[in-house]
Amino acid sequence: MTGLMVVCPSCGSLNRVPQERLGDKAKCGKCHAEILPDHPVNLAAARFNTYIQKNELPVLVDFWAPWCGPCRSMAPQFEQAGRTLRGRVLFAKVNTEEEQSLGARFQIRSIPSMVLFKNGKEHARVSGAMGAADIQRWLGAQGV
């Protein structure tokens, strides 16, 4: 059986999703939650490594904080890009106020900062608020 391994954002279980079903609302085999949501998932430190390293789809992580005006203004744009690129890229958010260890680990110096992970490793990053079309263009330039 071919397909891509996708980590359930709810329970952390690995699920194999056939290529042709990546645009569908696939459900986790264990907890039955949607594994390819059309919105960014919130990542906590406890599940961060599994989500980044085990997903075979690229993962774009928005490092943000609730007090950050540009972060709040970019949030709907990030969500829109996530809906548009569903099944091609997984979108996730890390609240750097709640997950300071992740902000420090990835040396996040300004927010919002987006980090693209491919095959479990950092592939590219960009800082500053962007619109949905700009996020999509930037991802395209990264080969996504």
Asked if 90 and 58 touch (Cβ cutoff 8 Å), the reply is yes
| Residue 38: exposure state from Cβ atoms within 10 A (0-12, 13-18, ≥19) | middle
Q: Measure the CA–CA gap between 122 and 97, rounded to whole angstroms.
A: 21
Output the DSSP codes for 69-105: HHHHHHHHHHHHHHHHTTTT-EEEEEETTT-HHHHHH
Which of 27, 130, 125, 17 shows the shortest CA–CA distance to 81? 130
Active site residues: 68, 71
